A and B are shown apart, each in its own frame.
Chain A
Amino acid sequence: MTSLELRHVNKNYGAYHALRGIDLSVEQGEFIVMVGPSGCGKSTLLKSIAGLETISSGQIMINGRDVSTAEPGDRGIAMVFQSYALYPHMTVAENMGFGLRMAKRPKAEIDAAVARAAKILRITDQLDKRPKQLSGGQRQRVAIGRAITRSPEVFLFDEPLSNLDAALRTQMRVELSGLHAELGATMVYVTHDQVEAMTMASRIVVLNRGIIEQVGSPLELYRNPDNLFVAGFLGAPRMNFFPVTVDQVSGNSVTVSAPGLAPIVVDLAAGASVQKGTTLTLGIRPENIAISDTASAGAAISGHVRLVEHLGRETILYVDAGELQCVSSESGTGHITVQIGHVTGVAADAPISLRIDPREVYLFSANDERTITVRKPILDK
C-alpha cells in the first residue's frame, strides 16, 4: 500500500526554484533516507511533507488523502528535529503528551500513549525529568517518543543524529533501525551522513539542486549509480574520476585511455552508443584500485605516493599520477585516491604502480553525465 506519494512537487522561493517536480512513491513501512549536499532541497522537501512549508505546485498524498494544503497537525505526520525541539518548561512526560493534549484527548489515553512510547524507548524512569537534566541521546529519545505517542502514519526525521557524538550516533542508528522494525511505520529520514543512509534505508533518495537524481536500495545506488553525481556522492572516500578518450569501439565494449592511463576495455550497457574519439568520464572507486607488484604487468597507472593515511584496518593512499589528474578528487589536489584493505608499508614519495579492475570501471557520458557502462552485480560474483 502506498503510504506517501509526492506528485510533481515544486517549491519556489521567489525566483529560486528549491524543489523541481519531485515525484516519489513510498510504500507502507518503508524507511526512506533522503541525502544530498547542503542546499539540495532535502530539508525543504521534508518540511513540505510536514506542512511546515507550503508547496508552490504539485500534490502530497498521505495514505491516499490529499494533504497538500492541510495543516501539519492534520496530516498524520510526526516530526523529529535535529535540535530535538523539546519544550524546556515541560517534563519528559508532558513533552511526549503535548500533541495529544493539544488535541484534547482524555487524560487516560494520553498517559497510556506516553507510557507505551516510554517503554519502547526505555525512558520510563526519566518521565518526570526536564529536558535540561537529560543527555543529548536521552533528549533525542524523548523527541522520538513525542513522535511515537501521536501514532502518526508517517514519521519525519530531520537529521536527528547530527548533534550527537560519534559513539552515541552509532548506537542511536542501531536503535532507530530497531524501532523501525518494531513499529513497522513509514519513515522519511533526512541526513547528510552516508553511513546513516547506507545502513538504515530501505531506499535512498539522492537529491541534488532540487531534483531527485536517483532512488533505490543502498547497494543498488552504490553499485549502479545512474549518473556521475550519485556515483560521486555515495561512497567514502569518493570515487576517482578522470577524463578519457574512446580509442576503439567493438560491439558492445569500448577501449578507453588517457595520457598516463593504459587502455582499458569496458562493457557498455545495452543501447549505449559512443563514437570513437569522444571524451568520456571514467569513474573507479578507491577500493577497486590495487597496488601492482611489477611496473609492467597490467599496470594501468604509475605515479608517486604523496600521502599515506593509516586508518588501522585500511590504508588510504593519495597518488600523484603526473599527467593523469583526477577531477573533483577526494583531496582536491587531482591525486588518485586508493583504498587498501590492509596495512601497507608503502611510504610517502615512493614510486608506485596501480592496477584497475576493469569490471569495476564506470563510464559517464560527457554531455549529460549519465552512466553508460553495463549494470554491475549487486551481490558477489
Chain B
Amino acid sequence: MYPRPIPEDAIWHRRFYFTAVLAILILWLCPLFAVILTSFRSTQDVMGGNLWGWPTQFGLIDNYTSVFTQTPMARYFLNSLMITIPSVIGVLIMSTLAGFVLARYRFRGNMLVFALFVGGNFLPYQIMMIPVRDLMVRIGLYDTPAALIIFHIAFQTGFATLFMRNFIAALPDELFQAARAEGASPFQTLVHVVIPLVRPALAALAILIFTFVWNDYFWAVVLTISDTVKPVTAGLANLRGEWVSAWNLISAGTIVVAVPPVVMFFLMQRHFIAGLTMGAVKG
C-alpha cells in the first residue's frame, strides 16, 4: 500500500515531480499570499490598483489596529467565540452520549435512530432556512447567540454522532465487559473508560466542528441581524462599504478571522496520540 519511492537515479523523473508539487503549492497558496500582502498595504496602494505586486508602503500595524478600532470587528470576534465555543462543547457532549449508546447498547430501533442521524447529513441544509428562521422568531431566539448555538448543536450533532459512534464501536468489546464485570455503571464506564480512549476522536471532532461553526456564513446571515450578535463571517461582509471598500482592512480582518481555527488545531494536536488503545487487548 505504500507509494513506491522514486529512485534516486531517476533525476528527470524526480525534477518533474518536484516542479509539479511546487506549481500546485504556489497555485494553492496564491490567494492566501495576496490577502496577506494586501493586509500590509496602505490605502494609497489599494486605490492605485496594486493588488498583486509588492506593497510600496507597509501599513501593517496601522491596518491591524484599524480593524479593531475603526470597525466593530472586536465585537464580531467576541460574538463568534460566544457562539462557537458553546456549540463545540454542546456537540461533543451530545455526540459522545449518543454515540456511546448507539455503539454499545442493543435496543429496538437502534439502527433506525442511527440511520436518522446519518440520513440527516444528506439533507441540503438550505431547505431548512425558512423553517428554522420562523422557529427561532416564534420561540423568541431570533437574533440572539442562542439561535445559532442551538442550530449548530442540532445540525452538527448528526455528523458528530456518526463519527463518535463508529469510533466507540471500534473499541475492544472486552474492555466494556471487564468494566461491567467490575461493577462500573454505564456512566462510570463512559467517563473512566470511553472518554479517555476516544480523546483523539474528540480532538479531531472539536477541530472540525470549530471550523465549521466558526466559518459558517449562511446561518449567521439567516439568524442574526444586529451587530451585537453577528459573528465574524457576517461581520466581515459588513465591512464592505457601499461605494468604497477598504480592501486592506478587509484583508487584515480576514487574516484575524482565520487565526482561531489554526490556534485550535495546535491546541488539539497534542491529543492526537497514535495507537492509544495499544496494549488493551493482545498486542
List residues of chain A with CB under 8 Å of any chain B CB: 47, 50-52, 71-74, 77-79, 81-89, 98-99, 102-103, 130-134, 136, 139, 146, 150, 163
Q: Say yes or no: B178 contacts A88, CB within 8 Å.
A: no
CA distance A133 to B192 in the complex (A): 21
The segment from B16-24, B50-58, B179-187 found at the interface with A is: B179-187
Q: Say yes or no: B184 contacts A89, CB within 8 Å.
A: no
Count residues of chain B with CB under 8 A from any CB of chain A: 26
B152 to chain A, nearest CB (A): 30
Chain B residues whose C-beta falls within 8 Å of the C-beta of A99 in the assembled complex: 182-184
**Does B197 sit within 8 A of A, measured CB to CB?**
yes
- A–B pairs, 23, beta carbons within 8 Å: A50-B181, A51-B180, A52-B177, A71-B183, A72-B180, A72-B181, A73-B180, A73-B183, A82-B174, A84-B282, A85-B175, A85-B178, A87-B196, A88-B280, A102-B183, A102-B185, A102-B188, A131-B280, A131-B283, A132-B275, A132-B279, A139-B279, A146-B182
* Most chain B CB atoms below 10 A, which of A71, A83, A88, A136: A88
CA distance A150 to B184 in the complex (A): 13
Nearest B residue to A94, CB-CB: B192
Chain A residues whose C-beta falls within 8 Å of the C-beta of B282 in the assembled complex: 83-84, 136, 163
**Does B30 sit within 8 A of A, measured CB to CB?**
no
A84 to chain B, nearest CB (A): 6
Chain A residues whose C-beta falls within 8 Å of the C-beta of B283 in the assembled complex: 131-132, 136, 139
Q: Say yes or no: A86 contacts B183, CB within 8 Å.
A: no
CA distance A87 to B193 in the complex (A): 7
> When A99-B182, A102-B188 are in contact, do A88 and B277 touch as well, CB less than 8 Å?
yes
Mark each residue of chain B from 266 to 280: 1 if its CB lies under 8 Å from any CB of chain A, else 0. Answer: 000000000111111
**Does B6 sit within 8 A of A, measured CB to CB?**
no
Nearest B residue to A73, CB-CB: B183
Which of A79, A98, A131 is close to B177, meaning CB atoms less than 8 Å apart? Answer: A79
Nearest A residue to B193, CB-CB: A87
Query: 8 tightest A-B contacts by CB?
Result: A73-B183, A132-B279, A83-B281, A99-B182, A85-B174, A131-B279, A85-B178, A89-B196
Q: Say yes or no: B197 contacts A88, CB within 8 Å.
A: yes
**Does B31 sit within 8 A of A, measured CB to CB?**
no
**Other A-B pairs, 7, CB within 8 Å; known A72-B181, A81-B178, A85-B280:** A83-B174, A85-B281, A87-B193, A87-B280, A89-B196, A132-B278, A146-B178
> When A79-B177, A88-B197 are in contact, do A98 and B182 touch as well, CB less than 8 Å?
yes
Mark each residue of chain B from 184 to 205: 1 if its CB lies under 8 Å from any CB of chain A, else 0. Answer: 1100100011001100000000
**Does B172 sit within 8 A of A, measured CB to CB?**
yes
> When A87-B193, A88-B197 are in contact, do A103 and B183 touch as well, CB less than 8 Å?
yes
B:69-84 near A, CB below 8 Å: none
Which of B192, B277, B279 is close to A102, meaning CB atoms less than 8 Å apart? Answer: B192
CA distance A136 to B192 in the complex (A): 24
Nearest A residue to B278, CB-CB: A132
Nearest A residue to B281, CB-CB: A83
Q: Say yes or no: A73 contacts B172, CB within 8 Å.
A: no
> When A99-B182, A102-B182, A102-B188 are in contact, do A85 and B279 touch as well, CB less than 8 Å?
no
B274 to chain A, nearest CB (A): 12
CA distance A84 to B281 in the complex (A): 6
Q: Say yes or no: A73 contacts B181, CB within 8 Å.
A: yes
Nearest A residue to B177, CB-CB: A52
* Most chain A CB atoms below 10 A, which of B179, B183, B184, B282: B183
CA distance A51 to B175 in the complex (A): 15
CA distance A271 to B175 in the complex (A): 53
Chain B residues whose C-beta falls within 8 Å of the C-beta of A163 in the assembled complex: 282
* Most chain A CB atoms below 10 A, which of B181, B182, B282: B181
Which of B172, B182, B197, B281 is close to A78, meaning CB atoms less than 8 Å apart? Answer: B182
Q: Say yes or no: A81 contacts B180, CB within 8 Å.
A: no
CA distance A28 to B45 in the complex (A): 92
Chain B residues whose C-beta falls within 8 Å of the C-beta of A79 in the assembled complex: 177-178, 181
Chain B residues whose C-beta falls within 8 Å of the C-beta of A71 in the assembled complex: 180, 183
Q: Say yes or no: A85 contacts B184, CB within 8 Å.
A: no
B167 to chain A, nearest CB (A): 15
Mark each residue of chain B from 136 to 177: 1 if its CB lies under 8 Å from any CB of chain A, else 0. Answer: 000000000000000000000000000000000000101101
> When A89-B276, A136-B283 are in contact, do A81 and B184 touch as well, CB less than 8 Å?
no
Chain B residues whose C-beta falls within 8 Å of the C-beta of A130 in the assembled complex: 279
B106 to chain A, nearest CB (A): 12
Q: Say yes or no: B280 contacts A86, CB within 8 Å.
A: yes
Chain A residues whose C-beta falls within 8 Å of the C-beta of B277 in the assembled complex: 88
CA distance A69 to B180 in the complex (A): 14
CA distance A148 to B255 in the complex (A): 59
Nearest A residue to B196, CB-CB: A89
B93 to chain A, nearest CB (A): 20
CA distance A102 to B180 in the complex (A): 10
Nearest B residue to A82, CB-CB: B174
CA distance A169 to B193 in the complex (A): 29
CA distance A134 to B183 in the complex (A): 25
CA distance A131 to B197 in the complex (A): 14
CA distance A69 to B242 in the complex (A): 73
Q: Say yes or no: A88 contacts B182, CB within 8 Å.
A: no
CA distance A47 to B178 in the complex (A): 11
Chain B residues whose C-beta falls within 8 Å of the C-beta of A84 in the assembled complex: 174, 280-282
Chain B residues whose C-beta falls within 8 Å of the C-beta of A82 in the assembled complex: 174
Chain B residues whose C-beta falls within 8 Å of the C-beta of A81 in the assembled complex: 174, 177-178, 281
Chain B residues whose C-beta falls within 8 Å of the C-beta of A88 in the assembled complex: 197, 276-280
Chain B residues whose C-beta falls within 8 Å of the C-beta of A72 in the assembled complex: 180-183
Chain B residues whose C-beta falls within 8 Å of the C-beta of A98 in the assembled complex: 179, 182, 184, 192
Which of B181, B183, B192 is close to A52, meaning CB atoms less than 8 Å apart? Answer: B181
